[in-house]
Amino acid sequence: MTSQKAPTMKDVAREAGVALGTVSKVINGIPVSERNRLKVEQAIQTLNYEVNTYARGLKTQKSNLVALIIPNTTNPFFASFADHIEASLYKKGLRLLLCCADGIPQKEIDYLNMAANNKVDGIIALTYSDIGKYIPPSLPIVVFDRFFENRVIPRVASDNFSGGCLAIEKLLEFGCRHPIYIRFHSVFPGESDKRKDGYLYACEKYGLEPDFIDEVDCDDRLRIMKEFLEKHKRPDGSLTFDGVFSHTDYHGYMFYRLLLSEGYRVPEDVQIIGFDGIRKFGNDDDDLFISSICQPVELLAEKCVEILTAADGTPAPCLTLLPAQYRYGGTTRDGKR
Amino acid sequence: MTSQKAPTMKDVAREAGVALGTVSKVINGIPVSERNRLKVEQAIQTLNYEVNTYARGLKTQKSNLVALIIPNTTNPFFASFADHIEASLYKKGLRLLLCCADGIPQKEIDYLNMAANNKVDGIIALTYSDIGKYIPPSLPIVVFDRFFENRVIPRVASDNFSGGCLAIEKLLEFGCRHPIYIRFHSVFPGESDKRKDGYLYACEKYGLEPDFIDEVDCDDRLRIMKEFLEKHKRPDGSLTFDGVFSHTDYHGYMFYRLLLSEGYRVPEDVQIIGFDGIRKFGNDDDDLFISSICQPVELLAEKCVEILTAADGTPAPCLTLLPAQYRYGGTTRDGKR
DNA sequence: CTGTTAGCGCTTTCAC
DNA sequence: GTGAAAGCGCTAACAG
């Protein structure tokens, strides 16, 4: 892995017949006499010169690199988030260092250490392990969804509370009488917890009796869902609920498949609304897994980048909430389209 | 975006009471007295020291960064590939610069220029535009699937020919008599073209009449599929084919949905096998979209990294083909499970 | 082995 | 304006 010797600034200076510093000024847009600027630009052309990133980084301590720490890219939500982060950074001339932490705390810490040591200019983190205390104290960072106690860190998230509320309102609008809520959550608190708060609030507001699965995430999800289902079957086999708001599309889709396999019809017997708005192949508008409260992934990503790259003086907002929107995905009774 | 001053090698030397060079030796694994090594390691611990990448890069012209150029991360296959590339690089102490080219040639060229510009030690490219002539002449590179004419570049791919063949053999094994083939392909040639060759070869071998959709990829896929379907309906509504080998899971899944919407049963009336082995949520073993010839993504990624990072002397293989495997995903008659 | 030192290519003073 | 020169933190070559 060796790279060929590239021309240096010195070569350009010699070629142009000016001093080293003058070349540097031209490159960095610092005023220089018209005559010299042209000579330098000419020399740069001739030699096909490009700035050496390491030398510049060594001097300026800037790399134009931003680390994105996410669990993985295989989960469609993370994948989409990463994709939009990349696009936003690219627009600003920044590059993306992808760090998939896989939920391995050591790997997260490794990446954080690396980030702290002059390798990146900032961090965008979407993580579900407890790395708060490893976050370098003075590196710009924006976190998605999570909250760390040791330091005031700008957070970006969807308006999960309103989203949770909206899910129930939509289910009611489409004729549900008894919506339940399903969640398998991380042990670490985050903004997405408010989806449940939204559900509970909506229950209160519309006089519904709350009923839900709310367990720590585990390998036993399917068994837990099945048990829940059994407990909610009437003697005639019909269900005591007719709507499901799932904390994520993923689990909502699991529940959807379970219902189908037990002979229930969706959306006729039970309507389902998930959360996230993930798409099967990531591109079309018509390939939601289930009807969903869709996170505005593109806007969320842009907002993260915007806050991270805001001028040093600008105070970053502690929390930025963006609205999530309902979209039809086949498991609700507003079909047609 | 300012970073706090990190401890330097000088600080470590002072803390450990040894010379700068000694610290450098310890870090680079060059023999040093046991006593000094311990002192230095201790000091590194205490100061939480990490090597400054720019300084090292300036000296060595290495960055431990590898650029991955892919169209996006939202397509599940690319996402999975990126995920495994990241993991493989991480194991070798390398970091991943993610470049999503979105099929925008200018963006690909930008990234290639950057890569050439001392920023990365190597490139792994999975791309469908014609960037052959922009590839920096002396930077290590490995391409997935594609072939560029201007330069001998190591290629890694699945054994698409055998995979195509296998798809037909499986369909026959499960009782198909008339398997067709569906493809919407890029205008650029690549290894995956051999899936069709495999199909044609299998037809020849097993005495089948080839029949297929083979179009340049476009927005009109659904219309083309519908027309094809119409042409293959017998007067009684039954179909003249009973098996589908789709060039990708994506299009296979599209065709699957089309068949269902037209009232055909899968796998009873028509069996479908795709190619890629992409998973709905990227993690479980049971969430293929359709039965598929699965690319060994993890191995492919590892192989790319292995070839890219092979010692300078080692001649890289021009082409490395890894076997793809059939896996049940609900659209074939080997169900149960 | 160990310590000293000369740069890697660039930015950024600082005199001129 | 301009050019000379001092490092940024590290590696590697060298003398001890």
Contacts 24+ apart (CB under 8 A), A127-134: A127/A69, A127/A70, A127/A71, A127/A101, A128/A71, A128/A103, A128/A186, A128/A188, A128/A190, A129/A101, A129/A103, A129/A105, A129/A188, A130/A105, A130/A188, A131/A105, A134/A108, A134/A109
- For the cut 70, the answer to whether the pLDDT of residue A336 exceeds it is no
Say which of B95, B138, B279 has its CB closest to residue A97: B95
Cα separation, B255 vs B212, whole angstroms: 13
Q: Choose from A39-53, A109-123, A134-148, A297-311 the range with maximum mean pLDDT.
A: A297-311
Cα separation, B123 vs B305, whole angstroms: 10
Concatenate the DSSP letters of all residues of B270-306 into one string: -EEEEEE--BSSSS-SS-BSSSEEE--HHHHHHHHHH
**Buried-exposed string A231-240: b where 16+ CB fall within 10 A, e elsewhere:** eeeeeeeebe
The domain defined by A9-51 folds into 434 Repressor (Amino-terminal Domain) (1.10.260)
Q: Under a CB-based contact definition with an 8 Å cutoff, are residues A292 and A311 in contact?
A: no
According to DSSP, the residues that pair with B142 across neighbouring strands are: B124
- Please give the average per-residue pLDDT across A84-107, as a whole number: 94
- For the cut 50, the answer to whether the pLDDT of residue A1 exceeds it is no
- Please give the average per-residue pLDDT across B126-143, as a whole number: 84
Q: Cα dihedral angle (B175, B178, B184, B190), rounded to 10 degrees? A: 80
Nearest to A186 by CA among A251, A106, A119: A251
Contacts 24+ apart (CB under 8 A), A313-321: A316/A142, A316/A154, A317/A154, A318/A152, A318/A154, A318/A155, A319/A154, A319/A155, A319/A156, A319/A157, A320/A154, A320/A155, A320/A156, A320/A157, A321/A157, A321/A158, A321/A159, A321/A191
Q: Under a CB-based contact definition with an 8 Å cutoff, are residues B82 and B68 in contact?
A: yes
- Please give the average per-residue pLDDT across B241-264, as a whole number: 97
- Residue with minimal CA–C1' distance to D14 is B21
Concatenate the DSSP letters of all residues of A143-201 into one string: EESB--SSS---EEEE-HHHHHHHHHHHHHHTT-S-EEEEEEE-SS-BGGGHHHHHHHH
Give CA B264 to chain center in angstroms.
33
Say if strands B292-294 and B325-327 run parallel, antiparallel, or are unpaired: antiparallel
Cα separation, A88 vs A80, whole angstroms: 12
Q: Residues 6 or more apart from B120 whose CB is under 8 A from it?
A: B63, B65, B66, B67, B97, B114, B139
Kindly report the bases of strand C lying within 7 A of a protein C-beta atom.
1-5, 7-13
Query: What was the pLDDT predicted at A50?
Result: 84
The reply to whether A9-51 and A160-297+321-327 are identical in fold is no
- Residue with minimal CA–C1' distance to C9 is A55
Contacts of A6 in chain B (CB under 8 A): 117-118
Query: What was the pLDDT predicted at B261?
Result: 96
H or E segment to which residue A202 belongs: helix A194-206
- For the cut 70, the answer to whether the pLDDT of residue B337 exceeds it is no
- Please give the average per-residue pLDDT across A113-131, as a whole number: 84
Q: Is B4–A139 a contact, with Cβ atoms under 8 angstroms apart?
A: yes
Say which residue the tokens 């001739």 belong to: A46
Q: Does A180 touch chain B (CB under 8 A)?
A: no
Q: Under a CB-based contact definition with an 8 Å cutoff, are residues B85 and B304 in contact?
A: yes
- Cα–Cα–Cα angle for B202, B148, B102, nearest 5°? 90
The residues of A between 2 and 41 with beta carbon within 7 Å of nucleic strand D are 18-22, 25, 31-33, 35-36
Q: pLDDT tens for residues A10-38?
A: 999 999 999 999 999 998 888 889 999 99
Specify the nucleotide whose C1' lies closest to residue A11 (CA). C9
Q: Rg of the Cα trace of chain B?
A: 25
Give the pair of three-digit tokens for residue B183. Answer: 């493809």
Q: Is B6–A118 a contact, with Cβ atoms under 8 angstroms apart?
A: yes
- Please give the average per-residue pLDDT across B51-58, as a whole number: 87
- Please give the average per-residue pLDDT across A186-211, as a whole number: 96
Cα separation, B281 vs A74, whole angstroms: 7
- Binned at pLDDT 50, 70 and 90, residue A4 comes out as low
Q: Residues 6 or more apart from A311 whose CB is under 8 A from it?
A: none
User: Which residues bind near strand C, taking a CB cut-off of 7 Å?
Assistant: A 5, 8-10, 20-21, 23-25, 27-28, 51-52, 55-56, 58-60; B 18-22, 25, 31-33, 35-36, 55, 58-59
Q: Residues 6 or more apart from B325 whose CB is under 8 A from it?
A: B277, B293, B294, B296
Q: pLDDT tens for residues A171-190?
A: 999 999 999 999 999 888 89
Q: pLDDT tens for residues A66-75?
A: 999 999 999 9
Say which of B3, B72, B96 has its CB closest to residue A98: B96
Collapsing DSSP states into helix, strand and coil, what is residue B213? strand
Give the pair of three-digit tokens for residue A152. Answer: 């005031």
Query: What was the pLDDT predicted at A3?
Result: 41
Say which of A53, A87, A121 has its CB closest to residue B119: A53
Q: Residues 6 or more apart from A160 whose CB is under 8 A from it?
A: A191, A192, A193, A194, A195, A197, A198, A275, A324
Q: Under a CB-based contact definition with an 8 Å cutoff, are residues B170 and B207 in contact?
A: no
- For the cut 80, the answer to whether the pLDDT of residue A262 exceeds it is yes
Q: Does B76 touch chain A (CB under 8 A)?
A: yes
Query: What was the pLDDT predicted at B64?
Result: 87
Q: pLDDT tens for residues B185-216?
A: 988 899 999 999 999 999 999 999 999 999 99
- Binned at pLDDT 50, 70 and 90, residue B2 comes out as very low
Say which residue the tokens 């790279």 belong to: A3
- Binned at pLDDT 50, 70 and 90, residue A278 comes out as very high
Q: Which of A301-310, B136-145, B195-204, B316-325 has the lowest mean pLDDT?
A: B136-145
Give the pair of three-digit tokens for residue A18. Answer: 């000016």
Nearest to B228 by CA among B216, B208, B211: B211
Cα separation, A301 vs A157, whole angstroms: 10
Say which residue the tokens 């939509």 belong to: A170
- Please give the average per-residue pLDDT across A296-300, as a whole number: 98
- Cα–Cα–Cα angle for A178, A181, A183, nearest 5°? 165
DSSP secondary structure code for residue B141 in this structure: E
Give the pair of three-digit tokens for residue A333. Answer: 């009774």
H or E segment to which residue B325 belongs: strand B325-327
Specify the nucleotide whose C1' lies closest to residue B10 (CA). D9
- Binned at pLDDT 50, 70 and 90, residue B335 comes out as confident
- Binned at pLDDT 50, 70 and 90, residue A329 comes out as very high
CATH class of the structural domain A65-153: alpha beta
The percent of residues above 90 in pLDDT, for chain B, comes to 73
Q: pLDDT tens for residues A130-146?
A: 777 788 777 889 999 98
- Binned at pLDDT 50, 70 and 90, residue B50 comes out as confident
- Count of alpha carbons within 13 angstroms of residue B107, beta-carbon side: 24
- Count of alpha carbons within 13 angstroms of residue A38, beta-carbon side: 3
- Please give the average per-residue pLDDT across B158-175, as a whole number: 98
B160-297+321-327 maps to which CATH number?
Answer: 3.40.50.2300
Cα separation, A211 vs A179, whole angstroms: 8
- Binned at pLDDT 50, 70 and 90, residue B38 comes out as very high
Nearest to A90 by CA among A296, A301, A284: A301
Specify the nucleotide whose C1' lies closest to residue B56 (CA). D10
Q: Is A308–B280 a contact, with Cβ atoms under 8 angstroms apart?
A: no
Q: Rg of the Cα trace of chain A?
A: 26
Q: Indicate the domain borders of chain B.
A: 9-51, 65-153, 160-297+321-327
Residues 99-128 of A with CB under 8 A from B: 99-100, 102, 107, 113-114, 116-119, 121-122
- Residue with minimal CA–C1' distance to C5 is B21
Q: Residues 6 or more apart from A266 whose CB is under 8 A from it?
A: A256, A259, A260, A272, A331
